[in-house]
C-alpha cells in the first residue's frame, strides 16, 4: 500500500509506513511551520536533497507504548526479553571458562577446537549452563521479535505496576481492547482545504493519550515537562488531536471507517453518540493526556510517569490551536508564493544595529559593553 494516497477516512491497523507516506500534513508539520516557517519545506518530501531519517520510536519508548497502552499480551508478542546473565550462577561464557570446566570434568577435547564445538561438548558433558547455548535457545524462541534487555523489562514492569496503583493512570492501563483503540489513523480535509492526518497513540471514548519521553533533565519534572511542551510546540499536537477527533466523528457517521476487526469498528462507531464533546450537563468531556515518562539510569534517575491532563478549550489547547492556525495560514501563503516544487526562503527587511531602530537587532542582555574611551569624541567628529 506504500505510496498509494488514501481517501479521507478513519483507519484501524494502518501500517506506520503507509500512514507516514500519505501526502498530508500532520501535527509535526504544523509545529515546524509555526517555529521554522520556510524551514518546513527543507525537511519535507518536496526537498529533492532531503536525507531520509527513521521515524521509528526508541526501543524503550516503543516497549512502554505496547505495555501501557496495548497490554502485556501485545508487549510479549512484540518484544522478547533477553536472558540475564546474572541469573545463571556458574555460567560458562568465554573459551577459557569452557576449556577449564571440561578439563576439570576430565572431558577430552581438541585444544584448537572452535568455540562452537567446545560449546557442544560442554552442553553434552557438563551440568553447568553455557551462555552461548542459552543465547541460541533464546534467539530461536524470540522468533523475530524485538529484543529488549532484562534491565529495561524490569523498569517497564515497574512503571506499569506503578501506573496500575494510580487511580487516574489505571483507567488507561486497565482498559481492555474494546475500551480503547491504539494507533487509530484519521485522514481528513481541513476547512481551509488542507489534506490532514493524525494518528492516535491511544484513543478512549473521551480521552486521547500520548506517550512522551522526558530524559537527560537537570531540573524538576514539572519544569522539564513545561519546557518540552514549549520548546517542541507539543501543544500543536494537542490541538490537532481534538480537530482529528471531530473529523473522525464526521467520517464515522459518513461510513468512512476502514480496517480493524468487526468488534473494533462497532466499538468506534459508538463514539460520536456516546462520547460527545459535552456531556448531558454541558460539561466538557474530551481530555488530552500526555504520559511523560523518565527512563531510569545508573545516575540516580528513577522510572517515573508524569501525566498531564488538558481539557478541550483549556488554556494550553487554545495556545496550540492558535499556533496551528498561524501555521496553516503561513502554509497557504507560502504555497501560493512558491508552490511545493520550488525551495522556500525569504529575505528579511533591513534591520538597524542601534537600539532605537524600528527594526533592530536584539543583542543579549548579558553582553558586557565597554564604556567610553579617551579620544572617542575626536575619532567620530
Residue 186 three-state SS:
strand
Within its chain, how far is the Cα of 306 from the centroid?
15
Domain limits of the chain? 9-56+180-336, 83-148
Per-residue pLDDT, 217: 61
Per-residue pLDDT, 333: 97
pLDDT digits (tens, 9 = 90+) for 178-187: 678 888 999 9
List the alpha helices (DSSP H) in the chain.
16-21, 27-36, 39-42, 59-64, 72-78, 95-104, 115-125, 131-142, 150-165, 167-173, 221-231, 234-253, 262-269, 271-274, 315-338, 376-379
Per-residue pLDDT, 214: 82
- Do β-strands 181-189 and 257-259 pair in parallel, antiparallel, or remain unpaired? unpaired
**Which CATH number among 3.40.50, 3.90.320, 1.10.1790, 3.30.70 corresponds to the domain 9-56+180-336?**
3.90.320
Would you tell me the crossing angle of helices 115-125 and 131-142 to the nearest 10 degrees?
90
Distance CA 379, CA 381 (A): 6
Looking from the CA of 63 toward its CB, the CA atoms found within 13 Å total 24
Residue 197 three-state SS:
strand
Per-residue pLDDT, 2: 46
Q: Are 313 and 322 in contact, with CB atoms under 8 Å apart?
A: no
pLDDT tens for the chain, 381 residues long, are: 445 799 999 999 999 899 999 999 999 999 999 999 999 999 999 999 987 665 444 688 889 888 988 889 889 999 999 999 999 999 999 999 999 999 999 999 998 899 999 999 999 999 999 999 999 999 999 988 999 999 899 989 998 998 888 888 888 888 766 678 888 999 999 999 999 999 998 899 998 989 888 865 667 888 989 999 999 999 999 999 999 999 999 999 999 999 999 999 999 999 999 999 999 999 999 999 999 988 887 777 888 889 999 999 999 999 999 999 999 999 999 999 999 999 999 999 999 998 787 889 999 999 999 999 999 999 998
Amino acid at each position: 500500500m506504500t505510496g498509494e494516497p488514501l481517501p479521507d477516512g478513519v483507519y484501524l491497523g494502518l501500517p506506520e509506513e503507509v500512514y507516514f507516506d500519505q501526502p498530508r500534513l500532520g501535527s509535526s508539520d504544523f509545529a515546524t511551520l509555526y517555529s521554522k516557517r520556510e524551514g518546513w519545506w527543507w525537511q519535507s518530501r518536496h526537498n529533492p536533497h532531503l536525507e531520509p531519517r527513521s521515524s521509528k520510536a526508541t526501543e524503550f519508548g516503543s516497549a512502554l507504548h505496547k505495555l501501557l497502552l496495548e497490554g502485556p499480551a501485545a508487549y510479549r508478542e512484540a518484544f522478547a526479553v533477553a536472558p540475564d546473565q546474572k541469573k545463571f550462577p556458574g555460567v560458562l561464557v568465554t573459551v577459557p571458562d569452557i576449556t577449564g570446566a571440561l578439563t576439570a570434568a576430565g572431558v577430552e577435547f581438541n585444544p584448537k577446537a572452535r568455540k562452537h564445538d567446545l560449546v557442544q561438548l560442554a552442553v553434552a558433558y557438563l551440568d553447568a549452563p553455557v551462555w552461548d547455548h542459552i543465547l541460541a535457545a533464546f534467539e530461536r524462541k524470540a522468533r523475530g521479535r524485538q529484543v529488549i534487555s532484562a534491565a529495561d523489562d524490569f523498569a517497564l514492569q515497574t512503571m506499569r505496576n506503578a501506573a496500575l496503583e494510580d487511580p487516574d493512570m489505571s483507567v488507561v492501563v486497565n482498559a481492555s481492547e474494546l475500551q480503547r483503540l491504539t494507533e487509530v489513523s484519521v485522514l481528513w480535509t481541513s476547512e481551509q482545504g488542507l489534506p490532514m492526518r493524525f494518528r492516535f497513540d491511544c484513543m478512549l471514548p473521551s480521552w486521547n493519550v500520548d506517550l512522551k519521553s522526558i530524559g537527560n533533565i537537570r531540573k524538576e519534572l514539572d519544569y522539564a515537562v513545561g519546557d518540552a511542551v514549549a520548546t517542541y510546540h507539543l501543544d500543536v499536537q494537542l490541538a490537532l488531536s481534538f480537530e482529528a477527533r471531530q473529523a473522525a466523528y464526521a467520517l464515522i457517521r459518513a461510513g468512512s471507517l476502514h480496517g480493524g476487526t468487526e468488534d473494533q469498528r462497532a466499538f468506534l462507531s459508538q463514539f460520536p453518540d456516546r462520547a460527545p464533546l459535552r456531556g448531558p450537563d454541558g460539561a466538557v468531556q474530551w481530555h488530552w493526556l500526555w504520559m511523560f515518562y523518565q527512563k531510569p539510569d545508573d545516575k540516580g534517575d528513577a522510572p517515573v510517569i508524569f501525566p498531564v491532563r488538558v481539557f478541550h478549550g483549556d488554556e494550553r489547547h487554545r495556545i496550540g490551536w492558535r499556533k496551528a492556525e498561524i501555521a496553516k495560514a503561513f502554509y497557504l501563503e507560502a504555497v501560493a508564493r512558491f508552490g511545493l516544487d520550488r525551495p522556500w526562503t525569504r529575505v528579511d527587511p533591513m534591520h538597524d544595529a542601534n537600539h532605537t531602530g524600528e527594526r533592530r537587532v536584539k543583542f543579549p542582555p548579558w553582553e558586557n559593553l565597554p564604556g567610553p574611551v579617551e579620544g572617542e569624541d575626536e575619532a567620530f567628529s
